[in-house]
Amino acid sequence: MSTSKLTDFKVLVFDVYGTLADWETGIYQGLKPMLSKYRASSGWSRKQALDAYSAVESDLQTKYPNLLYSDLLSKVHEVMEERLKAASGAPVETSTLDGNPSTIPDSTGASTSDHSVPAPLADDHVKFGQSIQDWPIFPDSSAALHALSKHYKLVVLSNVDRVSFAHTLAKLSEGRSTDLSKSAEAYSPPESDSEYWFPQQCNPASKSPFTLILTAQDVQSYKPSLHGFEVTLDVIHQNPSLHCAPKSQVLWVAQSLLHDIEPVGQLGSCQRFH
């Protein structure tokens, strides 16, 4: 059993969705309009809906680790709908059931595949992919983070993309349902994808409690892949604003055993709080 004390650590690395933000409520609310359309899912409980969602999401994250999370969410919604159609005996797209991402549009609405004919997703799928901005944070998350930031450097490692996370960052920073359009400059990520996101440095108006934010987009992988954890430790160790802390002084704070606690345990001499 570990004898470490909280004061032994200099950096706290947080998971966000499920730990600081109520992703289950956000996901379930976003799925309900689709679920109500089909006989197979109209009577599902919240747990059944989230289990079905998680199974598809995990599969797509493994297959397409470089896919932006908002696009991945859109694809999850599409795959789930096609499977519900199949369960109802309606015609389905085989490629969609297999999770082929070729129908995922980029920001211009064109397909991300090499096909010359664009294949934009239906509006409902795109809307679900953009729903992260509506996901609520837990009531005590913001105050707790600001209190901890007075004593520790706080870092994010999250399965999300930068643009989507900006909405959650604003809520965690301001402590309320913040309209990002009114504070976009304070909480927007760096323009260059090659530049790590240090919100307190790049946006002086930011009230962010976090010193560093790393998303799946930054580390090019989704948790529980160890790659993102290794990148995070490397960036922390190299950066003076994070005390160049070794992994023995880094504490991981997360709710998910699968996505965070178990992989951190594989890194060796790393501490985690569940």
Q: What is the pLDDT of residue 112?
A: 35
Mean pLDDT in residue range 202-227: 95
State pTM to two decimals: 0.87
233-261 b/e (C-beta count within 10 Å ≥ 16 → b): bebbbebeebbebebebbbbbbebeebbb
Topology, domain 6-22+136-273? Rossmann fold (3.40.50)
C-alpha to C-alpha distance for 130 and 156, rounded to whole angstroms: 20
pLDDT band at 179 (very low <50, low <70, confident <90, very high): low
Q: What is the pLDDT of residue 94?
A: 57
The encoded tokens of residue 142 equal 């913001």
pLDDT digits (tens, 9 = 90+) for 19-78: 999 999 999 999 999 999 999 999 999 999 999 999 999 999 999 999 999 999 999 999
Look at residues 132, 108, 133 and name the one whose alpha carbon lies nearest to residue 119.
108
CATH number listed for the domain at residues 23-132: 1.10.150.750
Mean pLDDT in residue range 234-241: 97
Does the structure show a pLDDT above 80 at 111? no
Mean pLDDT in residue range 240-265: 94
Does the structure show a pLDDT above 70 at 163? yes
C-alpha to C-alpha distance for 93 and 233, rounded to whole angstroms: 42
pLDDT digits (tens, 9 = 90+) for 72-101: 999 999 999 999 999 987 777 654 555 544
For the chain, how many helices (H) and strands (E)? 12, 5
**Cis peptide leading into residue 209 (ω within 30°):** no
Domain with CATH 3.40.50.1000 in the chain: 6-22+136-273
Of 122-126, 172-176, 178-182, 211-215, give the lowest mean pLDDT range.
Answer: 178-182
Domain with CATH 1.10.150.750 in the chain: 23-132
Does the structure show a pLDDT above 90 at 146? yes
Does the structure show a pLDDT above 50 at 6? yes
Q: What is the pLDDT of residue 116?
A: 33
Mean pLDDT in residue range 215-221: 97
